[in-house]
Chains A and B, each alone.
Chain A
């Protein structure tokens, strides 16, 4: 298909050279088409596309051209010649005589005219060589065109065509990179003009390059862009060319959409009544393919006979091949056998020489099938060999394609791997960052913990210090009280006793008075310090306290004490003071019927409980009051001996619980 494609392009591209009127003028466009009225009626007639098919077209031109030269009206002669060359390029109908005329014009008259009036010269010669597939000769002419500096729509388009043709030449020579480079230059120029046909041609060209590079999706995009440009220019002929190209694309892709597209494109062409034999032959051969594919033989036969007329008129190798293959395929499919076997065979050898493997395969295929049909097995063998040979060449090309595809796949995979690797690197980096962050956080946490621990420790030591101080203060107070009590008891009482002995005998009333003073002192001293606390012990002292409370204050207090002496005497004394304080509170405020003191020694330490069934009080409120000395006294004393006091109270009574942790 590739070769066929190239050939088709050779027809397609020159068409693009046509300048067309346009309606829309987008913002970016710098140069606009100026429709100049042709001053000369003959010149105008020559420019009319339909007139090219008139039998007298060439004679009219020659008369006009010779007449203008004679009149030294070089400008008019040039424009006449330009009209002719444009017609030939448009229809891909290049004549040797015209080339000669152009050459002689170039030699003799070109310098008499400004450069922009003679650009057609380079364009025509270049395209002439392109038509002959002689790209090396064509390239310098197109290159010459690209050296001009455009100043209006016409010159801009000409330079654009120059680049486009250059791109095509390189494309045809298989230099895709250069083709793409020049195409993009051409496109940049056409984008400055409102020449949609030119722009469409470049897109067509780019699509072909993409197709050749097997980038089908890109190719389809470019074809569609080309088509939309042609449509903007109302150029139905070029729209059809684009559709034709798209059919080729679908065939390449083996896309079943091709048949639908062939059908619609062919009928569009017929309806458009465009006179373009090369396009007709190309589309008709597709159509025949489709009809044969669908088994519509009689219709195919009718199309083929129509084709024959155009093919004979065109005398183009490509059209001939298209027609012959279509005809032969029909004859085989219709079961008639090829009539003019010699023609096909000749065609086969012709394409063989041109290394046109696509057509070679097609010819060989039909010839082989024909040979089988006519039971000429020897020939069938020869042709099947040729078919194999052609297919081998094609498949080697296909292999290249496949290799390309594989290479592409590999590239894709490699890229994916690269991306995956990068992602992994990134994720590794992220993991490292995450690790670092978590490490940092951990470190921070450790620091915070350590600091708070230190602070806690500091607070703890501070608390301990305060506790120790309190304890020492309390102990000192107790010591002081004990000393005062003992002084009172030992010295003062004894002195009074002695006084009583010396005075009391003579005056009994004085003796009685002294007795009562001794009693008072005893009471004071007892209140200051429990008598012989160390000797008597905690539980006996408490019971003494309770007995006194019972007899003095009429409060029923019972005790339940299990205590073996695990505390130091000074701590015991504090426990005694706590109970004393609690009892005093109960007596003062509680209005209780009874109270109970419980002391229990457990595994963890000592538990002291003072219960009453009085009216109770609001603990937190009372504690916040300034005068709650009694309760604070209990709490602070508990703390001082390393314990904790808990006070619960409601309308049914109050429970004070002190837990003393066992110290080792």
Chain B
């Protein structure tokens, strides 16, 4: 298993390299910028490339994009300070295998490497938790629902029709109907008339 690491922060680079090597992997090269990283990947064809995103010249995403476009065999793991879904979403377009945050590298890097080595994808838990972390925790059941679904069931509790709900949320009636059936499914409710209203009343959502 050959690995290349690229990071423009020498301490971080060093730390990463010692982590990776402590897990028993062979670091064949380290780079301080994106351009040399890409060159090295093309030259050495490592199994895995651990890339920082913010780097001079080419950034990690650019390198990942090139690797993807050049159909290189190297699997890209992004190791970054950016706890951003948008960037993660972008990286998925370039077939990035792993996305982990630097502050959790000690915890996550090992798992990530072994998953990616198996050919699986690995995404930092804290990234996925970022958006839901501020959510108020109400009834346990409600946690299963998305924000939109919870909004809809609140409105259902106010005895609003699908049409009214659609108007209030700037959505189409069809979308609301779709959400309704999703909610019923998620909550494991029987398919009967006004089941959502009854459930909402029972759970005191009004």
Contact = CB atoms under 8 A, between A and B. Distances in A.
Contacts of A552: 134
Contacts of B54: 486, 489-490
A493 B135 contact: no
Contact of A547 (B61, B83, B102, B131): B131
B169 A532 contact: no
Main secondary structure of the interface of B (DSSP, over half): helix
Contacts of A548: 131
B169 A540 contact: no
Interface string A602-614: 0000000001010
A350 interface: no
A594 B134 CA distance: 19
A593 interface: yes
A556 interface: yes
Nearest to B104: A515
A526 B82 CA distance: 10
B82 A494 contact: no
A358 B177 CA distance: 129
B103 interface: yes
A536 B87 contact: yes
Given A551-B131, A551-B134, A544 B103 contact: no
A97 B61 CA distance: 160
Contact of A558 (B9, B132, B170): B170
A540 B92 CA distance: 13
Interface in A512-562: 515, 518-519, 522, 526, 531-532, 535-536, 540-541, 543-544, 547-548, 550-552, 554, 556, 558
Interface string B165-196: 00011110000000000000000000000000
B9 A535 contact: no
Contacts of B171: 558
Given A550-B147, A556-B147, A593 B168 contact: yes
Contacts of A225: none
A594 B85 contact: no
B86 interface: yes
Interface in B104-154: 131-132, 134-135, 147-148, 151
Please classify how large the interface on chain A is, using the bins under 10, 10 to 19, 20 to 34, 35 or more: 35 or more
Contact of B81 (A493, A501, A547, A613): A493
Most buried by A among B83, B90, B103, B147: B103
A613 B83 contact: no
A527 to B, nearest CB: 13
Interface string B70-104: 00000000000111111101100000000000110
Contacts of B61: 532, 535
A596 interface: yes
B103 A535 contact: no
B20 to A, nearest CB: 15
A558 B167 CA distance: 12
A546 B171 CA distance: 15
Contacts of B89: 540
Contacts of A486: 54
Contacts of B134: 551-552
A387 interface: no
Contacts of B103: 497, 500, 515, 518
B86 A522 contact: no
A540 B81 contact: no
Contact of A594 (B53, B135, B170): B170
A532 B84 contact: yes
A359 to B, nearest CB: 123
A482 B171 CA distance: 35
B87 A531 contact: yes
A501 B86 contact: no
A489 B170 contact: no
Contacts of B11: 494, 498, 501
A161 B2 CA distance: 157
A532 B54 CA distance: 9
A535 B90 contact: yes
B12 interface: yes
Contacts of B9: 490, 494
A522 B81 contact: yes
A595 interface: yes
Contacts of A535: 59, 61, 87, 90
A384 to B, nearest CB: 123
Contact of A540 (B59, B90, B155): B90
A540 B61 CA distance: 16
Contacts of A551: 131-132, 134-135, 147
B145 to A, nearest CB: 13
Interface in A583-601: 593-596
Nearest to B89: A540
Given A550-B147, A551-B132, A531 B82 contact: yes
Given A535-B61, A550-B147, A501 B15 contact: yes
B148 A556 contact: yes
Contacts of B102: 494, 497
A447 to B, nearest CB: 54
A494 B86 contact: no
A395 B86 CA distance: 126
Interface in A634-654: none
Contacts of A497: 12, 81, 102-103
Contact of A595 (B84, B155, B170): B170
A554 B148 CA distance: 10
B22 to A, nearest CB: 14
Contacts of A540: 86, 89-90
B86 A531 contact: yes
A531 B147 CA distance: 24
A257 to B, nearest CB: 102
B203 to A, nearest CB: 18
Contacts of B86: 531-532, 536, 540-541, 543-544
A286 B3 CA distance: 157
A522 B135 contact: no
Interface string B19-62: 00000000000000000000000000000000001100001010
Nearest to A593: B168
B105 to A, nearest CB: 9
A115 B85 CA distance: 146
A536 B147 contact: no
Interface string A87-102: 0000000000000000
Nearest to A491: B9
B133 to A, nearest CB: 8
B21 to A, nearest CB: 16
B168 A532 contact: no
A494 B155 CA distance: 45
A497 B54 CA distance: 15
Contacts of B151: 556, 594
A486 B147 CA distance: 31
Contacts of B131: 547-548, 551
Contact of A544 (B85, B155, B168): B85
Contacts of B84: 526, 531-532, 536, 544
B36 to A, nearest CB: 19
4 interchain residue pairs of minimum CB distance: A596-B170, A594-B169, A536-B86, A544-B86
10 contacts: A489-B82, A490-B54, A498-B12, A519-B83, A532-B86, A535-B59, A535-B90, A551-B135, A558-B169, A595-B170
Given A497-B12, A536-B86, A554-B147, 18 more contacts: A490-B54, A497-B102, A498-B11, A500-B103, A501-B15, A518-B81, A519-B83, A532-B84, A535-B61, A535-B87, A540-B86, A547-B85, A547-B131, A550-B147, A551-B135, A552-B134, A556-B147, A595-B170
